[in-house]
Structure 1
């Protein structure tokens, strides 16, 4: 067997289940299969290989599911692909072959089933990796921060439960004004290169990674900048996104055989780690820009989010939105929630009137990081926070956000019941960074680190205990 050409990437992982993305390579006139075998740390005997057939329709990639795992348990696994000499092999017959597995051994940990156990997460967005004529320019610059994340993950307690990549994992339009990528093969090549750099590849082989798109997976400020020729671009961009980002996410349900369903009804999804739950929104592809019903989330998604906020028993509720929920920007704010104030206010009123506690909005996009607290002038029980982490790697063509970028001296919104007011809980970070979140019984520790892993800022969000 040969090493994967992209991956392995650990996706959605529960107490008993893990999804792992692998890509092989096309071989003329013969079938290609990918496989994984695994065992608990300390055991000698490997499991039987779990195999899948790779096809050009999926860019020679697929997601393999591992089931019946033990909770809160560390496993090691091997992954690879092969092309048997006999072209009539099937997934079943390949399992009987005496294959030689690649030497690389990876590790994964299943989630704990215990509530109230401390958990930790990595959050980041906007990873710029310039590609020129299909070749990355100085790729180490777009990869170095993942070495720092991996080092932190190896040395910190509690273990990292997941990494949330909240948008712009690739820049399809990195040469937007010169030669933007529009063809499917060009976009696929960008994903392959972005996800196969050494440090990010090592990190994603060990930590469950959850992704959601933002505009640069398609083009800048999509769909506001869409023109009549962009349907072709959108189809190609989303086909690639579905393969490389959505395929290993909870957006895909499992069929009756325990395998990932081929159908994909939406890009937004939910997942849980004990008493901490996440709702990852699609704030990009379901927008309605019409004057009479402006929405950043479509009707069904808004209803699902509100129902989850009201009915979920989770102690902490994280809502991921690739663009900023608040604070608003002084300029160029029409691409974020600032341009959809009615829908934002509906969500805030749902949280306030139902007295929902410990809601935190997670976002990126602005190439600056911050933590902010939102309160209500007449309702002292209301409190919501936002954690923004961006960028993982900036382009020299784009500025970093600063405190002066945001509107900080005005209420976020006004209703007959009172004003929504916000305040920063620390400085705005204007350099490449990632966020390390640690959630315990009493608080959320928010720690921002620079691209070398050095601590930039630490903030604590107290959790309501009611």
Structure 2
């Protein structure tokens, strides 16, 4: 008898439709409420389905080959369609480790704020954005390391990291199978995007980084598995029913082409990023949501580095200029860092490109990788292009990000707001918190602008300022919409850490 392995997960939702994603133990027909159904497709011995529902709200059930398998308890899952005028509340966060919830791991990792919210009985958001590092392929939990040890020889590379699709499948199962998390994801729509740890720390930071990784014996298998698993577990549910109907990979998988089709797609997506688009956009009534791929779509050409390649930039420009209301932009890495850090990254990029000679360029590349100098400031041309575009459109812009393991609000002229919420569950140690305050809000503030001027880097199109934060606690953030927008960060007890009204 077939059973649920992961899910059900409520993924794409608009004002008339909803999509339910599942992984099952065997091939079967998946139905929802005994009415909408589809057969599973198979990849690497795993079985998946995504079911689209039309015009339905309320409690739902999931059946496999006609046998009801969900809900498993007396806690029902519900579908709420988005109001035509747009969501009232959107929540977001990033950087969530999947360690146990016992006292020992709570002492080192803190409370899982997403799980705490699921258990709280607080009103649920209309949409949950998961902005990167949903899984940590390079830093598996002890439970995952036991799974790896049970199927690999001791010392087999990559030691203590995820190697293939089977291990990624278990990584996702571990991340999303806690009963409270599972229930929350079954009843709150989610939109997702990767960051580096979904593949590996510093993923695509530079051309030198890619060359270094290509020399290893294991990276090709890892990146193919990582992008393939991301497509199945995260990206597929980001797409609307129409987008999925036109997706050639999904058609191939449903036709039985399985692992071969997925692996070829993932290899090509890494080798030639223009072959695929991970970014996506949705109109949400009062706002347009644009989620940007800031990892795979990078152009890493020295002296012409871009956060987004030409095709990706043209798509983003079209999405921004075509918006009728406010913009909500999801970028896993912050667009507006503290100004001093931004200028340090400008400076480092110029030196990596040979501004002060080859010897300094080599040292600067080492510095870039060692200290994670890979945000928008390290791709200055893209930062300047997007800054000018956001000024030009003259609409409220909320850029939502994670990655940096502290939360803050930065404000720029023209109603441009950078809202960062990180981590959900992966806090920095006290020593690293103090180091971040000292370097990013102290030393960098003092010397960043000077370094940028010494390298003769043009000034940015505008200036900005951090007005709230940094907050280093585990957190989840919300945007509440009325005539204006209210931003709130919730900590481990779900008491507000900070609230900013009337944005």
Q: TM-score normalised to the size of structure 1?
A: 0.79
Classify 1:391/1:416 alpha carbon distance in 2 versus 1 (closer, same or farther; 3 Å).
closer
Contact 1:166 1:320 (C-alpha < 8 Å) held by counterparts: yes
Separation of aligned partners in 2, 1:139 and 1:22: 29
* Aligned position for 1:149: 117
Is the partner of 1:172 in helix, strand or coil? coil
Separation of aligned partners in 2, 1:262 and 1:460: 48
* Aligned position for 2:257: none
Measured against aligned partners, the alpha-carbon deviations of 1:32-68 in whole angstroms (never above 9, x if no partner) come to 2142333xxxxxxxx52523234244721221111x2
* Aligned position for 1:65: 52
5+ residue gaps, structure 2, are 141-156, 254-264, 266-275, 346-370
Which of 197, 201, 210 is the aligned partner of 2:178?
Answer: 197
Q: How does 1:10-409 map to 2 (within 5 A)?
A: 10-26=10-26, 32-38=27-33, 47-57=34-44, 59-66=46-53, 68-69=54-55, 74-82=57-65, 99-104=67-72, 105-114=76-85, 119-130=88-99, 138=105, 144-151=112-119, 154-156=121-123, 160-174=125-139, 178-224=159-205, 225-226=209-210, 227-228=213-214, 229=216, 230-250=219-239, 253-255=243-245, 265-313=276-324, 315-328=325-338, 329=341, 332-352=371-391, 354-375=392-413, 382-394=414-426, 399-400=432-433, 402-404=436-438, 405-406=440-441, 407-408=444-445
Q: Does 1:456 align with 2:489?
A: no
Q: Over aligned residue pairs, what C-alpha RMSD do you find?
A: 3.2
Is the partner of 1:18 in helix, strand or coil? strand
Separation of aligned partners in 1, 2:43 and 2:322: 43
Separation of aligned partners in 1, 2:51 and 2:309: 31
Q: TM-score normalised to the size of structure 2?
A: 0.74
Q: Going by fraction, where is strand more abundant, 1 or 2? A: 1
Moved more, 294-303 or 396-405: 396-405
Which of 482, 488, 492 is the aligned partner of 1:447?
Answer: 488
Shift of 1:191: 1.1
Measured against aligned partners, the alpha-carbon deviations of 1:131-183 in whole angstroms (never above 9, x if no partner) come to 9xxxxx9599687322322256x433xx5121000000000000699522222
Is the partner of 1:392 in helix, strand or coil? coil
Classify 1:166/1:121 alpha carbon distance in 2 versus 1 (closer, same or farther; 3 Å).
same
Q: Going by fraction, where is helix more abundant, 1 or 2? A: 2
Measured against aligned partners, the alpha-carbon deviations of 1:99-119 in whole angstroms (never above 9, x if no partner) come to 35545431110111136xx61
Measured against aligned partners, the alpha-carbon deviations of 1:7-31 in whole angstroms (never above 9, x if no partner) come to 01111101111111111114xxxxx
Separation of aligned partners in 2, 1:341 and 1:290: 13
Contact 1:164 1:211 (C-alpha < 8 Å) held by counterparts: yes
Shift of 1:192: 1.2
Measured against aligned partners, the alpha-carbon deviations of 1:77-104 in whole angstroms (never above 9, x if no partner) come to 112435xxxxxxxxxxxxxx5x355454
